[in-house]
Amino acid sequence: MKIYWFSFLLFIVFSSTLWEALADTHEEFIQCLSHNNQTSSIYTPSNSSYSSILQFSIQNLRFDTTETPKPLVIVTPVSEFEVQQVILCAKETGMHARIRSAGHDYEGLSYVSEVPFVIIDLINLRTINVNVNDKSAWVEAGSTIGELYYKIAEKSKSLGFPAGVCPTVGVGGHFSGGGFGVMLRKYGLAADNIVDARLIDANGRIIDRVSMGEDLFWAIRGGGGNSFGLVLAWKIKLVDVPEKVTVFTLDKTLEQKATKLVHKWQYVAPRFHEDLFINILISRVNSSEGGNKKQTIVASFKSIFFGRIDRLLSIMQENFSELGLKREDCIEMSWIESTLYFAGFPRGASIDVLLSRVQLSTRYFKAKSDYVYQPIPEGSLEGIWRLFFEDEAESAQVILNPYGGRMDEIASSSIPFPHRAGNLYEIQHLVYWDEEGEEVAERHTRWIKRLYSYMTPFVSMFPRAAYINYRDLDIGVNNVKGYTSYVQAKVWGIKYFKTNFDRLVHVKTKVDPSNFFRNEQSIPSLCEKQR
């Protein structure tokens, strides 16, 4: 007992000394910025705007509690020069930095840290320049997907870009992890269509594709955010879209043979023509079929086809007639209108809604991901449905996104994102809840872990693959100090990146040997000893 109390007292003394030192570091960091006349964009807890700036881009309420660690400083630079000064001052004073473009990181790593830190919030870096003549655009990293889509549509009705469906997601993190959406079967990922970038490295240099070299340029397109540097802007290659696309949504309950339809979808969706994308959202709903109120499972088949209705109906009749698609189920619209459709906005909404950075709703949630190589048997699908009838699954979802098409044609080593040929589809597991409290959160996270465990025999193995943009701190050994050694990192690294992981480590060691850019699941540097 005496040894225990002695150790405890040592811990208290050490912690007190540490925090005093960190407070000094925090003041030194602010003084450093002040020397460069960068004071208008600095927020500390003593500022009246601090809380609103911090909370504005928090997209997961799990990380908006009184217990959530808060930054000592938030900086919202308005120019590349100011970002450069923040990086240089942070490195000079030893401040740990987290980089936030729109705050959609599933584990909050862009705005939460267990060690004292500064948030570099890129919300003011949102310039987008679209060049219709060479079908390209420069997009600053603080822009959202919705802002990008809006700017493209302003200039052209025949160009688009293959990014995600949620318009409030920031391009900085989205592109860094790969970035997929409803055009992935036709054009691949967002990161597959990046042709240049401007990045600030750990030494404060602003470099582009030529000056950074092809190894670093390879790593930042899918290697995960906040590992190699701070990307200021991306140059993207725009893609051709037809004058009209066709969309539909068909909801099928268990009583309408949803299980058989989901089972059949596994065989046909990855083999459709690349112009056709149909994903499935599984959820629990209240049903009143036959006059009896009860709960059931609904499989919502949502689609975009890059063509007109007649051709779509022909493809569906030949390949997936069981779904029962009819002409009246289909809607023809422009590509930009389809981005609103997939984002959940009502028909006829103005495209101006794409400019809002505020989500339709913000809740507590936990997510996981999987990849499927072989179709899941019908009986095993029914096991998933049983889990959905548990109390914690009231607001749970499973989203099945088909691969195939262009995704089968791009080499797994083309960029760090390795999930290509051989994948039938990707699964996103999600559970939402609205009540506060640690016990409520634990119940829901235990539920999704049970679902994840149940899925083990039916998904990829050796490794059990995962998607870096659906960050999941459960899948590896993580150090709470925001640092991971190579051995620790490889546990989750091979799940996200497979054989590309070691090449990412090599690039990291070369460009950021001191591991300035780091988080709980960033690529480790072999040069730095564990802290």
Give the active site residues: 470
- For residue 62, give the 3-state DSSP assignment: helix
Q: How many residues are there in the chain?
A: 531
Contact call for residues 199 and 207 (beta carbons, < 8 A): yes
Residue 14's CB: how many other CB atoms inside 10 A? 10
Contact call for residues 424 and 401 (beta carbons, < 8 A): no
Q: Compute the distance between CA of residue 276 and CA of residue 273 in angstroms, rounded to an integer.
A: 6
For residue 463, cis peptide bond before it (omega within 30 degrees of 0): yes
Q: Compute the distance between CA of residue 68 and CA of residue 73 in angstroms, rounded to an integer.
A: 15
Residue 293's CB: how many other CB atoms inside 10 A? 9
Distances (CA, A) of 514 to 9, 24, 94, 299, 491: 32, 22, 11, 48, 21
- For residue 7, give the 3-state DSSP assignment: helix
- Amino acid letter, 280: I
Start-to-end Cα distance in the chain:
29
Say how far residue 341 (Cα) sits from the centre of its chain: 20
